[in-house]
Structure 1
Amino acid sequence: MSEIDPITLAPILNPGGIGGPLTAAHREMTVKHRDDLDWDNLRYEGQFTKMMFHPTKDDPTVPNAGVVKYLKGSGHPLHSHYFAQIWYILAGKFEINGVVYGEGTMVFHPDPHFEHALTTLEDGEILYVQYMGPTTRQPAIYEGRFNMKTRRSLEEESRAV
């Protein structure tokens, strides 16, 4: 009789998980490189994205994870989300709620959260990781946000999610 993993409820194939996956439910990593992707439009003018990972219908728990490029003067208004996210500023200077943040700054937004208006003071890039809220259980939004063929006007853009 094989031992059962209490989390996945799958039979343990490799006790201790050394030298192989613990169970058949344990998946291997996925690797992508940003240079293999083209820049896509983000929902606000002057912003472009290379989301290397994003939720799908088949796997809704995958985070939005990738790089957002901001052109000087771009930004976003105050708005709210139900998912959680982390930003890491790779380059540039960003004014958020009257404070200027630059390279090496990490920002955590719990779920649910609101984001202060952001203005880009110079061209910059931020690594985004948006993931299902641990308390709200609401996933990050990819469709219609990170892959815009054409952008809506700011007045038409929802600030609610």
Structure 2
Amino acid sequence: MKRDRTLRELGAKNINNLEWTKTRFDDVSIKLLSFRDGVACVYDRFAPGARTFPHQHGFRQLRYILEGEFIVNGVTYGPGTLIDFPEFTEYETICPNGGLWLLIQMPGKTGLAPTDPTGWAYNKTDSVAKA
């Protein structure tokens, strides 16, 4: 049976058409793919030698490594790895040779959600991001 309806075009972004944006970490920049309804989807680029200080968030995060090696809390992960960051789990990241990962931040059990994918809304040295 044929349906007479028109499906609408969906919103889409091509990563190659987006500009890099600075973050609160000097050697980390992002391309923002989507940020709505308490969910952020971000392409994160770490320069060689980039690192974050130990910090945590009150929301859940998933990070899928596309390129490079990331050392998170002393464990080395490579391309094809999905890392799950539960709410209020302190972590630091070191990227010795540079790398890319896809970051998804979303509300979790706490009900807190990301408020700023660049991190500028949080103090540059806060170990706890409030949301």
Give the TM-score range, shorter chain.
0.7 to 0.9
Distance 1:140 1:147 in 2: 9
Q: Residue 117 of structure 1 corresponds to which residue in structure 2?
A: 92
Distance 1:130 1:66 in 2: 8
Residue pair 1:132, 1:139 contacting (<8 A) in 2 also: yes
Distance 1:79 1:49 in 2: 18
Structure 1 residue 101 corresponds to structure 2 residue 82? no
Q: Residue 21 of structure 2 corresponds to which residue in structure 1?
A: 40
Q: Residue 15 of structure 1 corresponds to which residue in structure 2?
A: none
Change in CA separation of 1:68 and 1:109 when aligned onto 2, cut-off 3 Å: same
Change in CA separation of 1:115 and 1:32 when aligned onto 2, cut-off 3 Å: farther
RMSD over aligned Cα atoms: 2.5
Q: Secondary structure at the match of 2:89?
A: strand
Report how many aligned residue pairs link the two structures. 124
* Bigger-Rg structure (1/2): 1
List aligned pairs for 1:16-35, cutoff 5 A.
Answer: 29-35=10-16
TM-score where L is the length of structure 1: 0.68
* Unmatched runs of 5 consecutive residues or more in structure 1: 1-18, 22-26, 56-60
Choose 29-38 or 39-48, whichever is displaced more.
Answer: 29-38
**CA-CA distance at 1:129 after TM superposition:** 0.5
* Unmatched runs of 5 consecutive residues or more in structure 2: none
Choose 93-102 or 44-53, whichever is displaced more.
Answer: 93-102
Deviating beyond 3 angstroms after TM superposition, the runs of 4 or more aligned structure 1 residues are none
Bigger RCO (CA 8 Å, 6+ sep): 2
**CA-CA distance at 1:113 after TM superposition:** 2.5
Q: Residue 113 of structure 2 corresponds to which residue in structure 1?
A: 139
Identify the structure with the greater strand proportion: 2
Q: Secondary structure at the match of 1:49?
A: strand
Amino acid across the alignment from 2:29? F
Distance 2:38 2:119 in 1: 16
**CA-CA distance at 1:80 after TM superposition:** 1.3
